[in-house]
Structure 1
Amino acid sequence: MIKWEGVMPAVTTKFTSDDKLDLFMFEKNIKAQMESGVHGIILGGTLGEASTLTQNEKEVLIKETLLITDGKIPVIINIAEQSTTDAIAVARHAESVGAHGLMVLPPMRYKATDFETVTYFKAIANSTSLPIMIYNNPIDYKIEVTLDMFEDMAVCENIQAIKESTRDITNVIRLKNKFGNRYKVFTGVDTLGLESLVIGADGWVAGLVCAYPAETVAIYELVKVGKIKEAMEIYSWFMPLLELDISPQLVQNIKLAEVATGIGTENVRAPRLPLQGVERERVLGIIEKAMKSRPILPDYKNLK
């Protein structure tokens, strides 16, 4: 059972300089997330460079995360597979090792029809008892999960949440108007984080949270108690950093930010490479400016 609400980081995978898993820095980051009050951990997404990981590395990361979190917050495994058979295998394995939920993308590489996409999601849902979040991101994955498709999937009780990344913020309201609390809605776009929460999103699957967990959770908690002005002050400071998430190089960008806050390294796995030249200087400039003006946060864990 997952309480689908709050801030859930799509965490990065840490690598050593010789391209091995850096479990020391990975643990340091996960602990920083937990200390800041995040509400769950999402493993194996785009930000986690999942497509470059071996099956053994994925196993290690799942087991390590379950060990570090020790049942205090849910651990959610991302599914982004090319075949339904493979997706079901990942779902069943995640359940067998003790994961608490799944985040499921549409079929990869093949642009499935609406019917094929719904059939794919239903097949995964029917193969496991784990609760599921559907990731709706037509910008990056070319398949939009429409309101009609969500209505069709409502028969699957374990499909419970939506990561809303269409970039059309009004979709949060459309989903809430049509389904009420049948589905919990998370924003999946960092630069729409506060706005989405204000108009009714239940949570935020975030990227820059990987480097700035306290600031991200503070925004969520302030909005939750109606302190919009206080949340806006943090969010305004945060925006130049949040824009680093909406880029093909979001992994490199966010890892540079993790270096600045001491909870990561910039090591990425090829074909990704560390940022170079003018673009590297631009991103470092944004991070440096933000670090010099980092806000003093209220006691966001004890708001009333």
Structure 2
Amino acid sequence: MTSLANPATWLAGYIPDLATPFDEKGAVDLAAFAKLCERQIEAGVSAIVVCETTGEASTLTPAEQETIIRAAIEIARGRVRVIAGAGSNSTSQAIELTQRAEAAGADAVLSVVPYYNKPMQAGIHAHFRAIAISTALPIILHDIPSRTFRELSDDTLARLAESRQFIGLRDATGDMPRLIRLRPRLPTAFRLLSGDDATSLAFIATGGDGCISMVSNVAPDLCRAIFSNCRQGRLQSARYLQNRLTPLTACLTKESPAALKYALCLLGFMSPNTRLPIVELADSAKAELASAIAEIGDEDLACSIESWHGPRLREGHARSLRTDFQFTGKA
């Protein structure tokens, strides 16, 4: 568990918001989940996010969430931090999920602005303060108005950040000027991360600390290279790498998380199974996604695939990704 006395310097770079694999019977596939975690750890990420947006948290039971968090902790063995999604539009449920995450050994929780209820800013502030009082864990706030229909205002964020328990923000607004507005109002140690892959490079180049990312599930090494180049001032190289990911990012964003699960299926890591009301992609979307992966043309991605599945998949993988749209077996 992360100590509040330590600055959250680890909360940086591209941090994957991991998918939750399901087997053919709809149960959580912990074997596939372990492979997803290990792949990210080997790619050098500082942390992994589980049971959040991409992880289909809204369809997981509290017991399943706790099982996944405990599995992630066991797999990580202290090599990376584990950030547990623990959000709800019910404050009492968010507190329960947060306390379960703490009991399971999570290093921090990611807590989303309450959705559907459309609370006032005073209600949003009270919601997060109630969660903070219930736990000793560091809290990362998640602002994603496209899903919650209520934003976390700058004023509310600044008030919450006065407490050292709130260590960062996942900002999925896509509002680049906001980052410039926020920096002078927040403690130096408070971390600002993008929650939008399409604008993540601009966010980081403007002074952001990283991105809690969906696309890094598919191409962790490429995402790491983008961040490294940006941090070292090689913006032209970072833009070039980011542009290679643009078609894939667009495909994943259209039908998340079904598109991500199908992408990971094509790479041999898991089944594409989802839970209702999410269903699998249509054939046309599968073809578009397969083409986007194949056209990345990234040697690191190819090497990553080879390291997990052997050279056979690497040989001609671009051709097979374009034409083979049927899952043929577990990773």
TM-score, reference length from structure 1 = 0.91
> Matched residues in 1 for 2:11 and 2:158: separation?
19
Provide the residue aligned with 1:8 in structure 2. 15
Residue 11 of structure 1 contacts residue 47 of structure 1 at CA under 8 Å; is this kept in 2?
A: yes
Q: Which of 270, 280, 287 does residue 274 from structure 1 map onto?
A: 280
Q: Using the TM superposition, give the Cα deviation of residue 162 of structure 1 relative to its aligned residue in structure 2, in angstroms.
A: 0.5
> Matched residues in 1 for 2:26 and 2:92: separation?
30
Q: Using the TM superposition, give the Cα deviation of residue 295 of structure 1 relative to its aligned residue in structure 2, in angstroms.
A: 4.7
Quick check: 1:109 aligned with 2:116? yes
> Matched residues in 2 for 1:147 and 1:61: separation?
33
- 1:266 aligns to what SS in structure 2? coil
Provide the residue aligned with 1:261 in structure 2. 267
Deviations 1:137-164 (A, max 9, x none): 1122111111111122133220110111
- Name which of structure 1's ranges 277-286 and 2-11 shifts more when overlaid on structure 2: 277-286
Residue 32 of structure 1 contacts residue 263 of structure 1 at CA under 8 Å; is this kept in 2?
A: no
- Unaligned stretches of 5+ in structure 1? 298-304
Quick check: 1:83 aligned with 2:87? no
Provide the residue aligned with 1:188 in structure 2. 195
Provide the residue aligned with 1:301 in structure 2. none
> Matched residues in 2 for 1:176 and 1:245: separation?
30
Distance 1:264-1:227 versus aligned 2 partners, 3 A rule: farther
Quick check: 1:139 aligned with 2:143? no
- After superposition, where does 1:151-230 map in structure 2 within 5 Å? 151-179=158-186, 181-230=188-237
Paired AA for residue 20 in structure 1: A
Residue 168 of structure 2 contacts residue 191 of structure 2 at CA under 8 Å; is this kept in 1?
A: yes
> Matched residues in 2 for 1:81 and 1:177: separation?
30
> Matched residues in 2 for 1:225 and 1:217: separation?
12
Q: Using the TM superposition, give the Cα deviation of residue 254 of structure 1 relative to its aligned residue in structure 2, in angstroms.
A: 1.1
Residue 234 of structure 1 contacts residue 295 of structure 1 at CA under 8 Å; is this kept in 2?
A: no
- After superposition, where does 1:63-74 map in structure 2 within 5 Å? 63-74=70-81
Provide the residue aligned with 2:312 in structure 1. none
- 2:257 aligns to what SS in structure 1? helix
> Matched residues in 1 for 2:45 and 2:159: separation?
31
Percent identity, aligned pairs only, is: 27
Quick check: 1:61 aligned with 2:68? yes
Q: Using the TM superposition, give the Cα deviation of residue 104 of structure 1 relative to its aligned residue in structure 2, in angstroms.
A: 0.6
Q: Which has the higher contact order (CA 8 A, sep 6+)?
A: 1
Q: Using the TM superposition, give the Cα deviation of residue 55 of structure 1 relative to its aligned residue in structure 2, in angstroms.
A: 2.5
> Matched residues in 2 for 1:157 and 1:55: separation?
27
Q: Using the TM superposition, give the Cα deviation of residue 264 of structure 1 relative to its aligned residue in structure 2, in angstroms.
A: 2.8
Q: Using the TM superposition, give the Cα deviation of residue 87 of structure 1 relative to its aligned residue in structure 2, in angstroms.
A: 1.3
- Name which of structure 1's ranges 98-107 and 236-245 shifts more when overlaid on structure 2: 236-245
Deviations 1:85-127 (A, max 9, x none): 1211221221122110011112232110000001101111122
- 1:161 aligns to what SS in structure 2? strand
Deviations 1:189-232 (A, max 9, x none): 00011111111001110001111111111211221222222222
Quick check: 1:21 aligned with 2:25? no
Deviations 1:54-89 (A, max 9, x none): 222212211110000011111111122132112112
Residue 62 of structure 2 contacts residue 97 of structure 2 at CA under 8 Å; is this kept in 1?
A: no
Q: What is the RMSD of the two structures over their aligned residues, measured on CA atoms?
A: 1.7
> Matched residues in 1 for 2:46 and 2:154: separation?
27
Provide the residue aligned with 1:300 in structure 2. none
Q: Using the TM superposition, give the Cα deviation of residue 132 of structure 1 relative to its aligned residue in structure 2, in angstroms.
A: 0.8
- After superposition, where does 1:121-132 map in structure 2 within 5 Å? 121-132=128-139
Distance 1:222-1:164 versus aligned 2 partners, 3 A rule: same
Residue 115 of structure 2 contacts residue 147 of structure 2 at CA under 8 Å; is this kept in 1?
A: no
Paired AA for residue 50 in structure 1: A
Provide the residue aligned with 1:286 in structure 2. 292
> Matched residues in 1 for 2:277 and 2:144: separation?
23
Quick check: 1:49 aligned with 2:53? no
Deviations 1:229-270 (A, max 9, x none): 2222211111111123432x1111111221233323312122
- Unaligned stretches of 5+ in structure 2? 3-7, 302-331
> Matched residues in 2 for 1:263 and 1:234: separation?
23
Provide the residue aligned with 2:125 in structure 1. 118
> Matched residues in 2 for 1:285 and 1:15: separation?
24
> Matched residues in 2 for 1:263 and 1:211: separation?
10
